[in-house]
Amino acid sequence: MRRMKISEFQKRIEEIYFARDSARGRDGTFVWFVEEVGELAKALARPRQDGGQNVREEFADVLAWLATLASIAGVDLEAAAIEKYSQGCPKCKAVPCAC
């Protein structure tokens, strides 16, 4: 299985879904994102009878919806994450956080 950088993943999600998601708009797409977060919460609360497959799928769905929201908002998700967290904790700069 090939690994992707966050920027590659965001671009792939754009290729697959951007036209439909941007037509729905930011607010409508955000509602779908929140629904996926809820599905992840349910999957985490359930016993893992499937070896964790459902939890993995829900994490992937949440990441995909987050990526499409970032694209709609004009945010490079990878650049934003690096900018905020590359020096450690944004408040104390320690790794691990010492706040």
CATH of residue 46's domain is 1.10.287.1080
Q: 61 lies in which domain range?
A: 6-85
Number of domains within the chain: 1
Rounded to 5 degrees, what are φ and ψ at 5? -70, 160
pLDDT at position 51: 77
pLDDT at position 48: 75
Rounded to 5 degrees, what are φ and ψ at 26? -60, -50
Q: Is residue 77 part of a domain?
A: yes
Q: Is residue 67 part of a domain?
A: yes
Q: What is the tens place of the pLDDT at every residue in 60-85?
A: 999 999 999 999 999 999 999 999 99
Higher pLDDT, 49 or 23: 23
Q: Is residue 99 part of a domain?
A: no
Residue 29: helix, strand or coil by DSSP? helix
Q: Is residue 98 part of a domain?
A: no
The pLDDT confidence band at residue 1, using thresholds 50, 70 and 90, is confident
Q: Is residue 48 part of a domain?
A: yes
Q: Is residue 10 part of a domain?
A: yes
Q: Is residue 92 part of a domain?
A: no
